[in-house]
């Protein structure tokens, strides 16, 4: 085993990645009062390609979101003409050693695993070319919206690579082994309609009104108190892991403290009635 693999020190990894500058990933709090955060990818000169510095930015956004107790949802999207065109090729050429590849993979898998584990409703909004590492990032959300001009492709094979961020593992969860194999091994770039047809995406939105439509899509899932959303997300995560017994335990342990709680009593007093004919 290579020496650099023995210890995973994210501080060291971040310091290394920060050498590869360009672009930013930032957290917008414009809709915080509604329980919605927006993570923007912004690297216009490279069509939102991911640099080392952007990976560190993304991780810092996650640090803040994990502490957001009143949060309900996160929208992940790109500024400008597209979501993310993949990894920054200048970064890839400059950081072309196995050690730096290992650091990049560790950091991005940590980010996306934590993003997937947020107790919030997560939505990716894809528009324009969403390729390579950008496609990997996009599929870790609960829901995927595609603008009518979106193009999604796992094109890593064309560069003599496989997925680095966990994209293959997540893709199998979403569309199954055979469809995932086809998508990965052909490096085909899929249209918005094709993404719907293989169940990779959930809805097509209009390019000109994509942000408004995405926010409206999110709002249907955040009508309940944040406690309800957080608890459901936790149980669903265990259910997805196929650990049935553990999932039952988690569901019970999250339920019983809410029985008779102020939230429960207020709902019973204001909303819930038996329906009779």
The answer on pLDDT for 4 being more than 80 is no
pLDDT value at residue 150: 97
The answer on pLDDT for 272 being more than 70 is no
Helix (H, G, I), strand (E, B) or coil at 122: strand
Helix axes 10-17, 52-65, angle to 10 degrees: 130
pLDDT value at residue 1: 58
**Could you give the CA distance from residue 157 to residue 146 in angstroms, rounded to a whole number?**
23
Q: What is the mean pLDDT of the chain?
A: 93
Reading the block at residue 262, the tokens are 């102020």
pLDDT value at residue 210: 98
Neighbours of 114 (CB within 10 A): 16
3-state secondary structure the chain: CCHHHCCCCHHHHHHHHCCCCCCEEEEECCCHHHCEEEEEEECHHHCCCECHHHHHHHHHHHHHHCCCCCCCEEEEEECCCCCECCECHHHHHHCCCHHHHHHHHHHHHHHHHHHHCCCCEEEEEECCEEECHHHHHHCCCCEEEEECCCEEECCHHHHCCCCCCCHHHHHHHHHCHHHHHHHHHHCCEEEHHHHHHCCCCCEEECHHHHHHHHHHHHHCCCCCCHHHHHHHHHHHHHHHCCCHHHHHHHHHHHHHHHCCCHHHHHHHHHCCCCCCC
pLDDT value at residue 100: 85
Nearest to 203 by CA among 254, 148, 244: 148
**Could you give the CA distance from residue 232 to residue 223 in angstroms, rounded to a whole number?**
13
pLDDT value at residue 270: 83
The torsion angle over the Cα atoms of residues 33, 34, 35 and 40, rounded to 10 degrees, is: -90
**pLDDT interval class at 3 (50, 70, 90):** low
Across residues 207-223, what is the average pLDDT? 97
**pLDDT interval class at 202 (50, 70, 90):** very high
Question: pTM for the complete prediction?
Answer: 0.93
Cβ neighbours for 62, distance < 8 A, ≥ 6 positions apart: 111, 114, 115, 118
**34-38, 96-100, 268-272: range with lowest mean pLDDT:** 268-272
**Length of the chain as a residue count:** 277
Across residues 251-267, what is the average pLDDT? 91
User: How, if at all, do strands 203-205 and 73-78 pair?
Assistant: unpaired
């Amino acid at each position: 085993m290579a020496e650099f693999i023995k210890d995973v020190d994210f501080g060291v990894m971040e310091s290394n990645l920060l050498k590869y500058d360009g672009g930013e990933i930032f957290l917008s709090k414009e809709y915080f009062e509604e329980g919605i955060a927006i993570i923007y990818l912004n690297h216009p000169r490279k069509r939102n390609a991911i640099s080392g510095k952007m990976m560190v930015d993304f991780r810092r956004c996650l640090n803040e979101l994990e502490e957001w107790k009143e949060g309900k949802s996160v929208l992940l999207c790109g500024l400008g003409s597209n979501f993310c065109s993949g990894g920054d090729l200048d970064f890839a050429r400059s950081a072309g050693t196995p050690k730096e590849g290992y650091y990049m993979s560790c950091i991005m898998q940590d980010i996306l695993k934590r993003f997937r584990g947020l107790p919030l409703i997560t939505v990716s909004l894809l528009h324009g070319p969403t390729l390579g590492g950008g496609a990997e990032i996009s599929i870790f959300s609960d829901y995927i919206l595609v603008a009518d001009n979106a193009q999604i492709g796992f094109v890593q094979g064309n560069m003599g690579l496989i997925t680095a961020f966990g994209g293959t593992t997540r893709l199998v969860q979403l569309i199954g082994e055979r469809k995932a194999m086809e998508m990965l091994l052909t490096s085909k770039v899929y249209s918005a309609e094709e993404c719907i047809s293989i169940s990779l995406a959930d809805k097509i939105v209009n390019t000109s009104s994509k942000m408004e439509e995405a926010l409206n899509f999110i709002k249907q899932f955040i009508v309940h108190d944040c406690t309800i959303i957080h608890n459901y997300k936790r149980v669903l995560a265990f259910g997805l892991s196929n650990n049935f017994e553990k999932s039952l335990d988690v569901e019970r342990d999250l339920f019983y403290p809410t029985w008779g709680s102020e939230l429960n009593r207020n709902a019973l007093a204001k909303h819930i009635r038996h329906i009779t004919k």
